[in-house]
Amino acid sequence: MSDHTPQHHDSITAAECRERLLRGECGLWHLPGGPLTVCGEAHVGRLLVAHGAGAGQDSTFLQRLRSGLAGSGVQTLAIEFAYLQQMRREGRRRPPPRVDRLMEEMATWCDTLSHPDLPPLWLGGKSMGGRVASLLAARDGAPGLVLCGYPFHPPRKPERRRLEHWPQLRCPALVVQGSRDAFGTREEVKHYALPDVARLHWLEDGDHDWKPRRASGRTQEQLIDEGAATIAAFMGEST
């Protein structure tokens, strides 16, 4: 796990962050809430990206996804939760806190990164980060949602569905899911009663990290690029 430490980021205040965003700047910044990576120009829109439970924004998956989204006109604003920052400082793994704490962290980031003179801030994330984004959108509303590898249930526990809040979603919501995802396969999810605002895009033979089997003839990079293009198109249609 690489280290996101202040020497790699400009330390700035929330107000300075908004000023930089209004000037159209990108970069690696360290705010009171932690590191923020801003990538790309918002020709299509802006997307807050939260990470999964065990890997931060320096994961290969999220780096490739942000690059693909930037190439498709979506500006990404990548955050890291406090528990992961503590993991980096201590050099050891720890479980994430209760999801309501993560929701409050994300809500604070939304307040910091939103501005009436900037395009609306969509919420999204990988796995757990997407779940947090969906819970916050169900509670407070959002311009839109992008959920990459949504954890519909824990692996091997399909009866424990994480869909209680989905009927409260009122914004456009895109789920980009590998067809073999252990947190919700295509065969499982097709039986779910999802709200009309939700759209599913299946990445053929992809797992939770959108990695296909070699026999599929495709690569993870190709599936991530497909996912990024699908996200950009969905945001463009919905704004």
pLDDT for 156-183, tens place per residue?
999 999 999 999 999 999 999 999 999 9
Average pLDDT over residues 194-209: 97
Please give the mean pLDDT across all residues of the chain.
Answer: 94
Average pLDDT over residues 38-53: 96
pLDDT for 73-98, tens place per residue?
999 999 999 999 988 888 888 889 99
Average pLDDT over residues 42-51: 97
pLDDT of residue 54 exceeding 90, the answer is no
Give the CA angle between residues 87, 47, 60 to the nearest 5°: 45
Q: Is 146:171 a contact under the CB 8 Å cutoff?
A: no
Q: Looking at residue 5, what is its pLDDT?
A: 36
Neighbours of 153 (CB within 10 A): 18
| Angstrom distances, CA of residue 94 to CA of 6, 61, 88, 121, 177 | 21, 21, 10, 29, 26
pLDDT for 132-143, tens place per residue?
999 999 999 999
The first and second tokens of residue 68, run together, are 């693909």
Rounded distance between C-alpha atoms, residue 98 and residue 43, angstroms:
35
